[in-house]
Structure 1
Amino acid sequence: MLKTLLLIVGGLVAVVVLAGLVGWLLLRGPDIPYEKLEAKYATKASHYADLPGGVRLHYKDEGKADGPLLVLVHGFGDSHFSWEGWVARLGDRYRIITVDLPGHGLTRAPEGYVASADGFADLIDALAAKENLPKFAIAGNSMGGGVAWQVAVRHPNRVNGLILADAAGWPATTLKKPPLAFKLLKYSWGRAFLRSIDNTPLIRSGLRGEVGDPAVITDAFIDRWAELQRAPGHRAILMSIQPGKHSQATKEVLSTIKAPTLVLWGEIDPLIEVAGAHKFAEAIPGAKLIIYPKVGHLPQVEIPQRTADDVAAFLTAAGIQ
């Protein structure tokens, strides 16, 4: 009887293991060479800068060449494409640089690269120094918002304006029900799994759950997001991004920001509670706050016209024109 039971259990285990193996084989997503991705996604506006740490940073330089400079920084897993709506609507008045952070887009970083929000902020400073950029207004969404305010804190001489869109920084404002991919990131086995698969299904469900109107997240948007994550080394960096020594927002730190500041937020953001918007606005001297009803985590994607208009009005009022 015991022998029979063991055989049954052993058979069930074998079936489970086989099913897991088959599932992994179906889901696995090998790297896509940079050359192929660049041929598809780079444009005549693309530039590359060799920066400290072995980073070859990709950025696009668009808009009015002699206009005031606006630097835009995307969120976790995203790329410079997140800002297409703003580039189209603000490019007639501003010179716009959109960057791909290490582990994202078309930027290359060496194996073992350790990424953090404060490290990303220092890379923006290094890019500005290398390319001799004038003072700029900087905007960031989500993780990129955390990078943006850290640039304003760590390199205030670079910044004449700060725009935070659903920005990271206040740990207590992060919701307790993140997308499945974020849940998997908490575990070493989950990170290992995400490093080896095509994450398109997780990206689709995650992104469409982050916005007020899922229709704005098109299949083409999802496919591009997923393909760029499969650049060599990207998924390893995404799975290992560190909080950084200075990535947590506090009133003491944010009160040092002197640049005029605009805080934009989607009222129904399911990733970072709208309470974070109020905390940023209260902590940064003179900050202006705009909250958008029925909008989620990506206001620059969901309502590009309205947010671009608000940004233009803010920059004009700050004398950045």
Structure 2
Amino acid sequence: MKTIAKILGGFIALIVILLLIICERDRPVEELIPLYANKDSKFMPIMGMKVHYRDEGVATDTLPLILLHGMSSSLNTWDSVVISLKAHKRVISLDLPGFALTGPSPEMAYNFPYYSKFIDSFATRLKIKRFILAGNSLGGAISWNYALHNPSRLAKMILIDAAGYPKKGESGSLGFKLASTPVINNLLLYATPKALVRKSLETVYYDPASVTDEQVERFHDVAIREGNREAALMIFKGSFKGNPESIKEVKTPTLILWGDKDNLIGVNNVDNFLKDIKGSKAEIYKNVGHVPMEEVPGKVAASILKFVQ
């Protein structure tokens, strides 16, 4: 027993030492704003947060497009798509609560009802009566749940590699696997190595070589923004409780866009959405991973424009 106790004690001591070596402090948002906000950035006080967003394009457009990013991402995921869309549409991108410069929700409520309430409040503050919602990954799941919450306000919807159905053997990313592993995931509150961020991004893209040092730096910085790691941990521990059966109740005209090499949410999900959302349409991009709006932004912008016009 003493030998086992010594081994266990040594293992715990090793973990403590490793944590002391690699642990990172949270970064105040004041440090990050000069790095990741630009001339189009605005900060809206809403629901106890200062929400980072950009409102670009055709100001007179009465049916604007609101873009929602995925897990551990930011509005920057849409940058290249916005460049193509803003000549034709009013385009609004934002950092969702719990992520990037917006940071954690004071309510610490990361679930579909909370995000539906948030979208309603956000649109109301911008005096938008009806809009088109586009979402990638987790943002896609938030979108179709909003379509159930307030269908009269939603004119159309675009789901891009959207979450919603149970996974069926996808390989996933290393970071997401660690963040979903009990006990180990608690360590990510203190240590978020850039090497892990890079490895996770490389599994998100079809071509790992397309991941840049600049992207790794940005994803790492916004991940350790004050409060964001706690928010991510709550989400990975299962704060979102979706009901795939309810997707059949969606009546909003829907376009489904997908990368055929998505390792996180497989392309087989396209058939599920097409079957459950009556009248929906789909486009599949060849040799593209989980984030088509970053990998083939021109094609995604063209698909969206064709659908919304």
Q: Deviations over 1:202-235 (max 9, x none)?
A: 2211111122112222110111011011111000
Q: 2:231 maps to what in 1?
A: 237
Aligned with residue 25 of structure 1, among 20, 23, 34: 20
Aligned with residue 45 of structure 1, among 40, 54, 73: 40
Q: Any conservation in 2 of the 1:73–1:140 contact (CA below 8 Å)?
A: yes
Paired residue total: 306
Matched AA of 1:78? S
Determine helix, strand or coil for the equivalent of 1:167: coil
1:106 maps to 2:66: no
Q: 2:155 maps to what in 1?
A: 160
Q: 2:303 maps to what in 1?
A: 310
Q: 2:257 maps to what in 1?
A: 264
Unaligned runs of 5+ in 1: 317-321
CA-CA distance at 1:92 after TM superposition: 0.7
CA-CA distance at 1:16 after TM superposition: 4.1
Q: Any conservation in 1 of the 2:274–2:282 contact (CA below 8 Å)?
A: yes
- Which structure has the bigger radius of gyration? 1
Q: 1:218 maps to what in 2?
A: 212
1:254 maps to 2:247: yes
Distance 2:240 2:223 in 1: 22
Q: Deviations over 1:6-53 (max 9, x none)?
A: 5x984x66654454333222321111111111122122322223333x
What TM-score results when the alignment is normalised by the length of structure 2? 0.91
Q: State the identity %.
A: 32
Aligned with residue 129 of structure 2, among 109, 117, 134: 134
Distance 1:223 1:260 in 2: 37
Q: Any conservation in 1 of the 2:56–2:91 contact (CA below 8 Å)?
A: yes
Q: Any conservation in 2 of the 1:118–1:244 contact (CA below 8 Å)?
A: no
1:296 maps to 2:289: yes
What is the correspondence of 1:3-22 to structure 2 with a 5 Å cutoff?
6=3, 10=6, 16-22=11-17
Q: Any conservation in 1 of the 2:170–2:266 contact (CA below 8 Å)?
A: no
Residues 276 and 302 (structure 1), Cα distance of their counterparts in 2 relative to 1, 3 Å cut:
same
Q: 2:56 maps to what in 1?
A: 62
Distance 2:244 2:43 in 1: 31
Q: Which is further off, 158-167 or 107-116? A: 107-116
Distance 1:80 1:94 in 2: 17
1:284 maps to 2:277: yes
Aligned with residue 124 of structure 1, among 119, 126, 134: 119
Distance 1:159 1:265 in 2: 21
Q: Any conservation in 2 of the 1:175–1:271 contact (CA below 8 Å)?
A: no
Residues 174 and 166 (structure 1), Cα distance of their counterparts in 2 relative to 1, 3 Å cut:
farther
Q: 2:171 maps to what in 1?
A: 177
CA-CA distance at 1:258 after TM superposition: 2.9
Unaligned runs of 5+ in 2: none
